[in-house]
């Protein structure tokens, strides 16, 4: 079942990417407090994710914070080494925190996993953006299979009013 507005974020273990290392964290601890924007991408280093999706949230981080967002997280079904390299290459700094969902546990728990085996990518994350208030989904924008329209930073800003 796909997560919906009004649902609580499931509690799973992920890797939070830091500047020098990563640490295992609980989604309840990192996503369950305050107002959080969580956006999911299918793959680090893929063209749409690297050229548009993540850079948009980096560029609009200050505007999101000005609208009451405490933290911005990007999650992908990639291991923490890949996510750390992607963060460095994108210059995420302290604007967007990266979460590695290496086994796809969060993607499955949210009902947002997608089978991209036909493209040699295995099971990945659907592209989406969500706003969480104390761990409860207050806004959810799911993209069509290949689109990038409703889950952009600009769309999230619009939803926040």
Residues carrying an active site annotation: 49
In angstroms, the CA 2 to CA 45 distance is: 26
If you count them, how many residues does the chain have? 161
The kind and range of the H/E element at 75 are: strand 71-76
In angstroms, the CA 73 to CA 132 distance is: 11
In angstroms, the CA 160 to CA 123 distance is: 31
């Amino acid at each position: 079942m796909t997560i919906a507005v009004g649902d609580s974020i499931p509690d799973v273990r992920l890797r939070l990417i830091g500047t020098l290392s990563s640490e295992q964290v609980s989604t309840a601890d990192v996503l369950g407090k305050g107002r959080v924007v969580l956006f999911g991408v299918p793959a680090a280093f893929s063209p749409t994710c690297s050229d548009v999706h993540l850079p948009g949230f980096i560029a609009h981080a200050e505007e999101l914070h000005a609208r009451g967002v405490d933290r911005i997280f990007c999650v992908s079904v990639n291991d923490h080494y890949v996510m750390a390299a992607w963060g460095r290459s994108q210059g995420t700094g302290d604007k967007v925190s990266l979460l590695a969902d290496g086994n796809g546990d969060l993607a499955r728990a949210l009902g947002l996993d997608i089978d991209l085996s036909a493209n040699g990518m295995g099971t990945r994350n659907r592209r989406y953006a969500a706003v969480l208030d104390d761990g409860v989904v207050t806004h959810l924008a799911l993209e069509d299979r290949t689109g990038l329209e409703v889950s952009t930073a600009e769309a999230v800003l619009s939803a926040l009013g």
